[in-house]
Amino acid sequence: MEHPSVRFFGILILFLTAGLWCVCSPGIADEKTGYFEVTSVPEGGDVFIGSQFMGETPVLIPARNQSDGTQIRIMMQGYEIWEQTIAGTPAAGQVVPIKSALIPVSPFGTLEVTSSPSGALVTIDNGMGQMTPWTYRDITTGTHLVSLFLSGFEPYVVNMDVIPGQVTRLHANMTVRSGAGSLQISTVPGGASVYVDGVYSGTTNTVIGNVPPGKRRVLITRAGYDDYEEWAVVANRQVTIIDKKLNPVTKISGGALVITSDPPGASVFLNDQFRGTTEMGRPLELTGIPPGSHTVYISTRNYEDFSTTVEVRAGEVTPVSAQLNPSPMPQDCGKLILNTEPAGADIYVDGKFVGVTPATVDSVCSGKHTYRFILAGYQEYSSEVELIPGQVLQINTILNPLAEKPEETPATAVPVIIMVLVAALLIFSRKIEED
């Protein structure tokens, strides 16, 4: 005979099972509410309605009556956030599909680098240098070491975080180095040649650093315009600005030469005097040349020298184009970009003085080379480098200050004298005891 308690527990289990079936059965739930069926490609995205977590895709979410619609957000690591606002509410028993294609987060970003003054050499992670302003595109996201170098200014070094798919901007205010000043020269029109104390120093618009303080003779020339000359006062750790509108040439002015070479980068001599270097896309312009015959000599490594005689006429521009022939025995060369912290160190490559840091040493033949940095108050640094043909190699070096030598004073000998006196006293005492 069945015990009454067994029957009671059987009935209780039956009711609990029926109640659980009523709650969990989709058929019964569908009669009371509608649903959003949220899927994503790839699957496994976290689904939120507002700030409430609703599960991972694919997931079936009961709809709520909201007057402003239902905002569904899907988040997944490595992918952009997907969001959509659904207007209205599904009817009872209705299932509305919500499909999303997640977009991977871009592994690259953009870095825009500017400087004041412009024209600084900028590198990322000690790579190849560019001139500011410069925009680096498709830079891998994360932290990068950005370094800026400009002659006559303190190096500017900073870590920058590149954000995926965004533009990160860096503006470096360069600080003038102690013991020298700088010249910032602009002209209208630009592209004029600049000479400081008779030394060719580049083309406008430009910044010339490491200029000794005092009065400096600045000569600005451009073909088709009168030369401009000024005595500029350069102050320590200051930037002297020269902004000049050039006047068109007149018939009473001297003549001009516009010189190009193929390949560019050749040294140009006028009547045996160095006057500058040809550049890619921009000819070298020499102005204020007295009328008459002049000799133009053009030279570059791995090519035969070029020489010609030209007739210069007052107020006229004479073009000179040099097609350089390859040397019968060319040498494959590279380039060294040398920087030190602090700057201003003398550079020796293979024992030969080649300039002062920061500097670019062109036409360094392929193979092994020694280089040395010498700066007063700092330890001399030397090392070796090996270049392959066509390589541009940048070297950044931090110089270590010289250790200060302690001054010798008579006091250092006092402990020795005391020890000698004590030893003599002990010997004297023993002799007295023996006697």
Which residue from 40, 43, 94 is spatially nearest to 72, judged by alpha carbons?
40
Given a contact cutoff of 8 angstroms between Cβ atoms, the answer to whether 152 and 209 are in contact is yes
* The predicted structure's pLDDT at residue 180: 79
Band (pLDDT 50/70/90 cuts) for residue 387 is confident
Question: Rounded mean pLDDT of 84-113?
Answer: 87
Letter string b/e over residues 45-64, b meaning 16 or more CB atoms within 10 A of that residue's CB: bbbbbeeeebeebbbebebe
- Give the separation between CA 334 and CA 342, rounded to whole angstroms: 25
Going from N- to C-terminal start, the domains of the chain cover: 1-28, 33-101, 108-173, 212-323, 333-398
Does residue 24 surpass a pLDDT of 80?
no
* The predicted structure's pLDDT at residue 390: 62
* Superfamily of domain 108-173, CATH level 4: Carboxypeptidase-like, regulatory domain (2.60.40.1120)
Query: For the ranges 152-156, 235-239, 318-322, 413-417, which has the lowest average pLDDT?
Result: 413-417
Mean pLDDT, the chain, whole residue set: 80
Given a contact cutoff of 8 angstroms between Cβ atoms, the answer to whether 340 and 375 are in contact is yes
Letter string b/e over residues 172-208, b meaning 16 or more CB atoms within 10 A of that residue's CB: bebebbeebbbbbbbbeeeebbbbbeeebbbbbbbbb
**Vertex 335 angle, CA 332 and 340, to 5°:** 155
Given a contact cutoff of 8 angstroms between Cβ atoms, the answer to whether 39 and 12 are in contact is no
Q: What is the pLDDT of residues 35-49, one digit of tens each?
A: 889 999 999 999 998
Q: What is the pLDDT of residues 177-230, one digit of tens each?
A: 777 788 899 999 988 888 888 777 878 888 888 788 888 999 998 888 888 999
Does residue 409 surpass a pLDDT of 60?
no
Question: Rounded mean pLDDT of 239-247?
Answer: 93
* The predicted structure's pLDDT at residue 245: 94
Band (pLDDT 50/70/90 cuts) for residue 118 is confident
Are 108-173 and 212-323 the same fold in CATH?
A: yes
Q: Which fold has domain 333-398?
A: Immunoglobulin-like (2.60.40)
* The predicted structure's pLDDT at residue 127: 74
Given a contact cutoff of 8 angstroms between Cβ atoms, the answer to whether 27 and 34 are in contact is no
Given a contact cutoff of 8 angstroms between Cβ atoms, the answer to whether 93 and 74 are in contact is no
* The predicted structure's pLDDT at residue 15: 42
Does residue 348 surpass a pLDDT of 80?
yes
Q: In what order do the strands lie in the sheet with 228-234?
A: 199-203, 193-196, 214-221, 228-234
Greater model confidence, 104 or 101 = 101
Band (pLDDT 50/70/90 cuts) for residue 338 is confident
Q: What is the pLDDT of residues 260-301, one digit of tens each?
A: 998 888 888 998 888 778 877 778 888 888 889 999 999 887
* Superfamily of domain 212-323, CATH level 4: Carboxypeptidase-like, regulatory domain (2.60.40.1120)
Greater model confidence, 320 or 3 = 320
Q: Which residue has the tokens 């496994």?
A: 44
Does residue 18 surpass a pLDDT of 60?
no
**Assigned CATH for 33-101:** 2.60.40
Other beta carbons within 10 Å of 348: 17
Greater model confidence, 5 or 101 = 101
Does residue 29 surpass a pLDDT of 50?
no
Residue type, 405: K
Paired tokens of 427: 């010997």
* The predicted structure's pLDDT at residue 50: 82
- Beta-carbon contacts of residue 373 (< 8 Å; ≥ 6 apart): 338, 340, 345, 346, 347, 348, 357, 380, 381, 382, 397, 399
Band (pLDDT 50/70/90 cuts) for residue 422 is low
Greater model confidence, 149 or 179 = 149
* The predicted structure's pLDDT at residue 404: 66
Which residue from 258, 252, 282, 253 is spatially nearest to 270, judged by alpha carbons?
258
- Give the separation between CA 406 and CA 153, rounded to whole angstroms: 33
